[in-house]
Amino acid sequence: MRKYIVAGNWKMNTTVPEGVALAKEVAEKAASLPSNVELIVAPPFTHLSAVGQALKGSKVLLSAQNCADQEKGAYTGEVAAAMLASIPCQYTILGHSERRQYYGETDEKLVVKTRLALDNALKVILCVGENLKEREAGKHFDIVSAQIENVLFHFSAEDLKNIVIAYEPVWAIGTGKTATAAQAEEIHAHIRSVIAGRFGLDVAEDMTILYGGSCKPSNAKELFAEKDIDGGLIGGASLKADDFLAIASSF
């Protein structure tokens, strides 16, 4: 069964007390959400324990924004998947375009990180998406297929049950420029067909594919109404509990 998910990527925002207050507000307001929507928040590493405590007893799940490409050891500044799992964290985002762009995240590294996350019982939100130049050159379908093939094709159909895809056109992230519902849907359908080609129709149909990039209460309904858009990965609008919850109520 395909799951509907709204995940909040807080990026490098909020202090710990601010993050805890935001998480408490989200947890409280999430109580009235229908049970078929999974709500996730992804605060910075420093917040995970305290936010995890604040979410206790609620239906909101906890995600990291990244994890290391090594198991453990002398990797100063890195955080291992096993450490995240021990918080406990249920998810980690991987391959966000900001990590690809500013921190040299490659598809090869993402294969290793995804394997480590799954081995530690963390679910993965794997981000893909083209930049403006690639879109203008009409290469968006090819770029996204390559990102899916380079990472996802290293895993089994069983592994895919614990992976969620987030399609985030880089030109729409934090810019206020949302992809139209039709633009997003054609890529989502394409991603599903690439997955179907390798893993079969049933696996592809069960896969949750999120849209991300300036998703907000005013456009979420239209996006989520598309048949291949199963929710959103929300940046800016996830920093306000009311906006985040309004998006989650848009199915």
Where b means 16+ CB within 10 Å and e means fewer, 118-146 reads: bebebbbbbbbbbbeebbeeeebeebbbe
What token pair was written down for 81? 């998947």
Smallest distance, ligand PGA to C-beta of residue 8, A: 9
52 in contact with ligand PGA (CB under 6 A): no
130 in contact with ligand PGA (CB under 6 A): no
Part of the chain binding ligand PGA (CB under 6 A), chosen from 48-56, 113-121, 194-202, 235-243: 235-243
174 in contact with ligand PGA (CB under 6 A): yes
236 in contact with ligand PGA (CB under 6 A): yes
Part of the chain binding ligand PGA (CB under 6 A), chosen from 33-41, 131-139, 203-211, 227-235: 227-235
The DSSP line for the chain is: -PPEEEEEE--S---HHHHHHHHHHHHHHHTTS-TTEEEEEE--GGGHHHHHHHHTTSSEEEEES---SSSSSS-TT---HHHHHTTT--EEEE--HHHHHHS---HHHHHHHHHHHHHTT-EEEEEE---HHHHHTT-HHHHHHHHHHHHHTTS-HHHHTTEEEEE--GGGTTTS-PPPHHHHHHHHHHHHHHHHHHH-HHHHHH--EEEESS--HHHHHHHHTSTT--EEEESGGGGSHHHHHHHHT--
Whole-angstrom Cα distance, residue 3 to residue 9?
18
Smallest distance, ligand PGA to C-beta of residue 215, A: 6
In the bound state, the residue with its beta carbon closest to ligand PGA is: 235
Whole-angstrom Cα distance, residue 26 to residue 37?
14
What token pair was written down for 209? 């594919």
Smallest distance, ligand PGA to C-beta of residue 176, A: 8
235 in contact with ligand PGA (CB under 6 A): yes
9 in contact with ligand PGA (CB under 6 A): yes
94 in contact with ligand PGA (CB under 6 A): no
Part of the chain binding ligand PGA (CB under 6 A), chosen from 17-25, 139-147, 182-190, 206-214: 206-214
Contact pick of 55, 160, 187, 234 for ligand PGA (by CB under 6 A): 234
Question: Which CB atom, from 1 or from 12, has the smaller least distance to ligand PGA?
Answer: 12
Catalytic residue annotation: 96, 168
214 in contact with ligand PGA (CB under 6 A): yes
Question: Which CB atom, from 40 or from 204, has the smaller least distance to ligand PGA?
Answer: 40
14 in contact with ligand PGA (CB under 6 A): no
Part of the chain binding ligand PGA (CB under 6 A), chosen from 21-29, 72-80, 189-197, 212-220: 212-220
Binding site for ligand PGA (CB under 6 A): 9, 168, 173-174, 212-215, 233-237
